[in-house]
Amino acid sequence: MTDRIKGTTKLLGLIGNPVTHSKSPQMHNKSFEVLGLDYVYLAFEVEDGHIKEALDAMKTLNAAGGNITMPHKTKIMEYLDDISPDAEIIGSVNTIKIDENKRVTGYNTDGKGFIQALYENNVDFKGKKIVMAGAGGAAKSIATQLAYDGAGEIVILNRTFSSAQAIADNINKHIPTCKARPEAMNEERIVEEMQDAAVLLNTTSLGMETTIDQAIISSPAQLPKGIFVADIIYQPEQTKLLKMAEEAHVRHMNGLMMLIWQGAIAFNIWTGKDMPVDLIKKEIFGK
């Protein structure tokens, strides 16, 4: 990488805390190298409460933009000059672009990454019902983007009902073409709701390494034929939910391509070029 860094090289970076685990630097720098683009991407660990100073520093250094992760995705919105319409509705930003006049525009590519992963799997969700377990930050981004891009109905199930209700209320207020409905999360309700759904989506932590033997349902027999099962977890590669989907012979995906596509969309915002997604999938993630 050092051979290609010059005085003209533009800076991009990830701002958050923690960031040492992130694959974004490898993903973007490999793409810059392959495409011959004069950028470099670094990770900056910035503690909560210091996002304004970090953004000011990026502008001072004539950076081209970057990614924003926890805990700054909401707070940074106070300091932006422009925000994309979908990010405004979502209420958080994960990508910024800084123009030549140092105006900063915020975007949210999390939900768009999930949408692109659905398209890649030929999943038709427009006008259809989506059942989503979980109501955290990722769930809010994905649910709002699904509604924005044409989903007909979204049922959001969560143990803390008020969190699901907040997402549903926000969608119903801003995107009237989609009906969003909160429900208290329990297995019986999930099974009932997904019988006429096009997509079942897990955004909870169930299935991660600390809860590897858990899932939002208990049997592959509960999955209706024709449903598409998605889990935003990608480590482990196959959660218990996805193992059940495979056993039930229904189509499914983990969160890897959402991760890659949200980065690819940000890459295009900064450079106007398409990330070499197939190469990144192989060389960075070994898939």
Residues annotated as catalytic are 73
Q: Rounded CA gap, 183 and 268, in Å?
A: 37
| Nearest Cα residue to 67 out of 41, 103, 37, 49 | 41
Report in angstroms the alpha-carbon separations of 83 from 46, 69, 159, 171, 271. 22, 16, 31, 18, 18
Query: In sequence order, what DSSP letters do the residues of 47-81 get, joined into one string?
Result: -TT-HHHHHHHHHHTT--EEEE-TTSTTGGGGG-S
Phi, psi for residue 106 in degrees, rounded to 5? -105, 145
Find all residues with CB under 8 Å of 280, minimum gap 6, and list them: 27, 30, 31, 260, 263, 264
Residue with tokens 């482990």: 236
